[in-house]
Amino acid sequence: MRAGALAIFIIGVCAACHAQKLRFVPVNKGELLARVKTTPASDRERAALIKRLFVLAGCAGQLSEQPVGEGDTPNIVCALEGRGQGTVIVGARYNLGAPGEKTIDNWNSASLLPALYECLSASKKRRHRFVFVAFADHGSDPTGAAFFAGHMNASEAESVEGMVNLGALGLSPTKVWTSRSDKDMVQELVLMAYALKLTTSQFDLNSDAASDVDPFASLRIPEITIHSLTQVNIEAGATPFQSNNYYDSYRLLCGYLSYLDVTLKPRPHHP
- % the chain with pLDDT above 70: 89
Q: Is 10 left (phi over 0), alpha (psi -120 to 50) or beta?
A: beta
By the 10 Å C-beta count (0-12 exposed, 13-18 middle, 19+ buried), 35 is classed as: middle
Query: What is the pLDDT averaged over residues 227-244?
Result: 86
Q: Which amino acid belongs to residue 261?
A: D
Q: How far apart are CA 97 and CA 101, in angstroms?
A: 6
pLDDT tens, position by position, 112-124: 999 999 999 987 7
* DSSP helix/strand/coil, 184: helix
The fold of 7-263 is Aminopeptidase (3.40.630)
Q: For the chain, report the end-to-end CA distance as a whole number of angstroms.
A: 46
Strand extents, DSSP E, the chain: 7-13, 18-24, 63-66, 75-80, 87-93, 129-135, 160-166, 174-176, 200-202, 223-227
Residues in the chain: 271
Order of strands across the sheet with 87-93? 63-66, 75-80, 129-135, 87-93, 160-166, 223-227, 174-176, 200-202
Domain ranges of the chain: 7-263
C-alpha–C-alpha distance, residues 78 and 90, integer Å: 10
> What confidence category does residue 3 fall into, taking pLDDT thresholds of 50, 70 and 90?
very low
Rounded to whole angstroms, how far apart are CA atoms 251 and 92? 17
- Report DSSP letters for 224-245, one per residue: EEEE---HHHHHH-PPPP-HHH
| Residue range 44-68: mean pLDDT, rounded | 94
| Residues whose CB is less than 8 angstroms from the CB of residue 33 and which lie 6 or more positions away in sequence, other chains included | 243, 246, 247
Q: Which of 163, 170, 153, 186 is nearest to 91 (CA)?
A: 163
Task: Write the pLDDT tens digit of every residue in 83-141.
Answer: 988 999 999 999 887 555 556 788 999 999 999 999 999 877 889 999 999 999 987 88
Band of pLDDT at residue 54, cut at 50, 70 and 90? very high
pLDDT tens digits, residue range 182-221? 999 999 999 999 989 999 999 998 777 789 999 999 999 9
Q: What is the mean pLDDT of residues 46-73?
A: 92
Res 25: pLDDT = 86
pLDDT tens digits, 158-183: 999 999 999 999 999 999 999 999 99
Burial of residue 146 (CB within 10 Å: 0-12, 13-18, 19+) is buried
